[in-house]
């Protein structure tokens, strides 16, 4: 097989984070290659380097056997490489034609009619349907994706990269897309799909390459692969972490989630009929590839996300686990917080939710405490004491509690966020990605904090990315896949492969685990 693109010993770092480490990978001519890996395994970063978005720190890229420098998307197009990003690069108020014409070679005459004619030919060839006068803002997600594909084909690419193309599509739209991809393969083009959905990998691709934690693990021909082989390559062998895990005792039901469904603003069902209980005194881990409903689940419980009618989240406040339950759905987030349900969500940009970057620790403590104080004056003393306390107990490294938190390192920002939520003495504590980007020591500090809360009888819900941590820290693990609860397993008895499989392969209706 002849290589269309070869990556040789490519490394890319962002500050201290190594996104890709010494990756060597070949993309053959006329094949459909799946690039498989968990969150943060460096799939998108790797292909962004081929598409000209990033430039590798080390290593080289060969196109058709010749070393090349790809410094911008334009360079990539000139080499016949086109990438369709997860976030579409389209101008909303432009028509389809205008979007296709954008950035075309300026030596050609500017003629929208000619552009449209050529685009129509592409549509006929690959059986697309497109209204070229339609403005992008009135298009559906699938239409936008089609437009992106036409845009790339218009520029005459031979290698097409699709980043999680099916994440936003309905099953029918996915089938259509796959037909298009097969058409392109028949036309002699190479197609690379970034994905974490095993069944799609097996359905569409000729070959699978696997990345794990930024490193290249290997490639297999799809015909020789099955789900368990791929899962094992994807998640790797179990790593012993020695995280403390006290036995849960005196567990009482705190949360009862029933028939919870959420539909996103785009009309996609991001959570489907979720049911589970969370108990005080245990840590319930939530595993899943990111974007499978974790964020929406926590937000729905915290009252920040509207849910589909019929869903219910009951909260048991009394200590015997009986008594009257409070229905959380429909309540205002502040009331939910006051009742004792707290959430600390660490988004990718860390400061986006929960903290105000330009305020100091004291100010950020006050965000959730501003109603106290006399008359219209706020009380600064309590938040100040709390800030001091968190700074000492969690060893937050900051020049002063009044230094804007945006100047602190990521780990310290997270300590402030998690520390504040814990300090409010919650009954239910939800954390998402609490150790994202943290070094080992700080991560263990956070695990200790969560364990302390567990011992106190708090119901801890821990959304995590690292399976090893989830397996070592949680008592039970709930696995989300495609917005559904794909299984709830006992963390002491399960293994990485089982959880990995649950994360990537939706069980058929009726199948049971446990």
Q: Is residue 77 within the footprint of another protein (CB under 8 A)? A: yes
Kindly state the smallest distance separating residue 73's Cβ from another protein, in Å.
Answer: 5
Q: Which is nearer to another protein, 98 or 164 (CB)?
A: 98
Kindly state the smallest distance separating residue 352's Cβ from another protein, in Å.
Answer: 12
Q: Is residue 92 within the footprint of another protein (CB under 8 A)? A: yes
Angle at 130 between CA 125 and CA 131, to 5 degrees: 135
Q: Is residue 94 within the footprint of another protein (CB under 8 A)? A: yes
Per CB under 8 A, the list member of 3, 11, 18, 53 interacting with another protein is 53
Stretch that binds another protein, among 101-109, 188-196, 201-209, 309-317 (CB under 8 A): 101-109
Question: Which residues in 442-461 contact another protein (CB under 8 A)?
Answer: none
Q: Is residue 93 within the footprint of another protein (CB under 8 A)? A: yes
Q: Which is nearer to another protein, 93 or 377 (CB)?
A: 93
Q: How many residues bind another protein (CB under 8 A)?
A: 23
Kindly state the smallest distance separating residue 194's Cβ from another protein, in Å.
Answer: 17
Q: Is residue 74 within the footprint of another protein (CB under 8 A)? A: yes
> Using the 8-state DSSP alphabet, how is residue 506 labeled?
P
Stretch that binds another protein, among 88-96, 199-207, 287-295, 369-377 (CB under 8 A): 88-96
Report residue 278: phi and psi, to 5°.
Answer: -120, 135
CB 159 within 8 A of CB 80: yes
Q: Is residue 72 within the footprint of another protein (CB under 8 A)? A: yes
Per CB under 8 A, the list member of 58, 91, 229, 335 interacting with another protein is 91
Kindly state the smallest distance separating residue 20's Cβ from another protein, in Å.
Answer: 15
Kindly state the smallest distance separating residue 87's Cβ from another protein, in Å.
Answer: 8
Per CB under 8 A, the list member of 102, 239, 335, 395 interacting with another protein is 102
Distance CA 514, CA 503 (A): 15
Q: Which is nearer to another protein, 19 or 283 (CB)?
A: 19
Q: Is residue 71 within the footprint of another protein (CB under 8 A)? A: no
Q: What is the dihedral of CA 315, 433, 466, 390, to 10 degrees?
A: -100
CB 456 within 8 A of CB 263: no
CA nearest to 207, candidates 43, 34, 38: 34
How far out from the chain centre does Cα 260 lie?
20
Per CB under 8 A, the list member of 9, 67, 71, 89 interacting with another protein is 89
Helix and strand element counts for the chain (H, E) = 16, 20
SS (H, E, C) 298-361: HHHHHCCCCCCCCCEEEEECCCCCCCCEEECCCCCHHHHHHHCEEEEECCCCCCCCCCCCCCCH
Q: Is residue 17 within the footprint of another protein (CB under 8 A)? A: no
Q: Which is nearer to another protein, 358 or 389 (CB)?
A: 358
User: 63 - beta bridge partners?
Assistant: 5, 66
Distance CA 67, CA 24 (A): 14
Q: Is residue 118 within the footprint of another protein (CB under 8 A)? A: no
Mark residue 355 as left, alpha or beta (left: phi above 0; alpha: psi -120 to 50; beta: remaining). beta
Question: Which residues in 344-383 contact another protein (CB under 8 A)?
Answer: 349
Q: Which is nearer to another protein, 295 or 350 (CB)?
A: 350
Distance CA 453, CA 429 (A): 8
Distance CA 420, CA 483 (A): 29
Mark residue 389 as left, alpha or beta (left: phi above 0; alpha: psi -120 to 50; beta: remaining). alpha
Q: Is residue 135 within the footprint of another protein (CB under 8 A)? A: yes
Per CB under 8 A, the list member of 16, 66, 110, 309 interacting with another protein is 110
Q: Which is nearer to another protein, 102 or 179 (CB)?
A: 102
Q: Which is nearer to another protein, 51 or 325 (CB)?
A: 51
Per CB under 8 A, the list member of 59, 73, 333, 357 interacting with another protein is 73
Q: In what order do the strands lie in the sheet with 58-63?
A: 17-28, 3-14, 58-63, 66-68
Per CB under 8 A, the list member of 26, 38, 98, 465 interacting with another protein is 98
Distance CA 384, CA 375 (A): 19
Per CB under 8 A, the list member of 58, 137, 395, 407 interacting with another protein is 137
Q: Is residue 103 within the footprint of another protein (CB under 8 A)? A: yes
Kindly state the smallest distance separating residue 107's Cβ from another protein, in Å.
Answer: 11
Distance CA 480, CA 297 (A): 10
Q: Which helix H or strand E contains 126, and what residues bound it?
A: helix 112-126
Question: Applying CB under 8 A, which residues contact another protein?
Answer: 14, 53, 72-74, 77, 85, 89-94, 98, 101-104, 106, 110, 135, 137, 349
């Amino acid at each position: 097989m002849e290589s269309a693109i070869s990556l040789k010993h490519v490394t890319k770092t962002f500050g201290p984070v190594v996104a890709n480490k010494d990756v060597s990978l070949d993309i053959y001519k006329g094949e459909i290659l799946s690039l498989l890996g968990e969150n943060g395994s460096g799939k998108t970063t790797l292909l962004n380097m081929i598409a000209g978005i990033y430039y590798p720190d080390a290593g080289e890229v060969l196109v058709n056997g010749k070393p090349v420098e790809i410094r911008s998307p334009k360079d990539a197009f000139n080499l016949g490489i086109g990438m369709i990003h997860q976030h579409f690069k389209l101008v909303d108020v432009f028509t389809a034609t205008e979007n296709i014409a954008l950035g075309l070679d300026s030596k050609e005459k500017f003629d929208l009619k000619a552009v449209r004619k050529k685009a129509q030919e592409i549509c006929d060839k690959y059986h697309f349907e497109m209204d070229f006068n339609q403005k992008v803002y009135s298009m559906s997600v699938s239409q936008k994706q089609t437009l992106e594909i036409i845009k790339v084909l218009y520029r005459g690419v031979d290698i097409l990269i699709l980043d999680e193309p099916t994440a936003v599509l309905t099953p029918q739209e996915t089938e259509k897309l796959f037909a298009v991809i097969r058409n392109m393969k028949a036309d002699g083009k190479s197609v690379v799909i970034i994905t974490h959905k095993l069944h799609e990998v097996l359905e569409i691709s000729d070959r699978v390459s696997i990345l794990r934690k930024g490193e290249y693990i290997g490639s297999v021909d799809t015909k020789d692969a099955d789900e368990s082989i791929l899962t094992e390559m994807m998640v790797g062998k179990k790593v012993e972490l020695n995280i403390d895990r006290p036995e849960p005792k005196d567990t009482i039901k705190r949360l009862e989630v029933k028939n919870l469904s959420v539909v996103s603003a785009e009309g996609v069902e991001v959570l489907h009929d979720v049911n589970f209980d969370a108990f005080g005194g245990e840590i319930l881990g939530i595993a899943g590839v990111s974007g499978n409903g974790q964020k929406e689940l926590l937000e729905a419980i915290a009252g920040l996300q509207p849910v589909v009618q019929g869903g219910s989240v009951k909260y048991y406040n009394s200590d015997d686990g009986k008594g009257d339950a409070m229905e959380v759905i429909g309540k205002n987030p502040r009331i939910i917080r006051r009742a004792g349900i707290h959430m600390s969500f660490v988004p990718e940009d860390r400061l986006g939710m929960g903290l105000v970057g330009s305020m100091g620790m004291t100010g950020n403590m006050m965000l959730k405490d501003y109603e106290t104080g006399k008359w219209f004056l706020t009380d600064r003393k309590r938040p100040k004491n709390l800030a001091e306390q968190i700074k000492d107990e969690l060893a937050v490294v900051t020049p002063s509690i009044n230094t804007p938190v945006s100047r602190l390192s990521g780990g310290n920002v997270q300590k402030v966020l998690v520390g504040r939520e814990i300090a409010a003495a919650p009954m239910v504590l939800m954390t998402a990605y609490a150790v994202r980007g943290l070094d080992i020591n700080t991560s263990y500090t956070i695990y200790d904090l969560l364990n302390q809360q567990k011992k106190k009888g708090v119901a801890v819900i821990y959304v995590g990315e690292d399976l090893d941590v989830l397996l070592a820290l949680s008592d039970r693990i709930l696995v989300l896949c495609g917005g559904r609860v794909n299984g709830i397993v006992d963390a002491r008895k399960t293994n990485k492969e089982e959880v990995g499989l649950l994360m990537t392969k939706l069980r058929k209706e009726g199948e049971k685990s446990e």
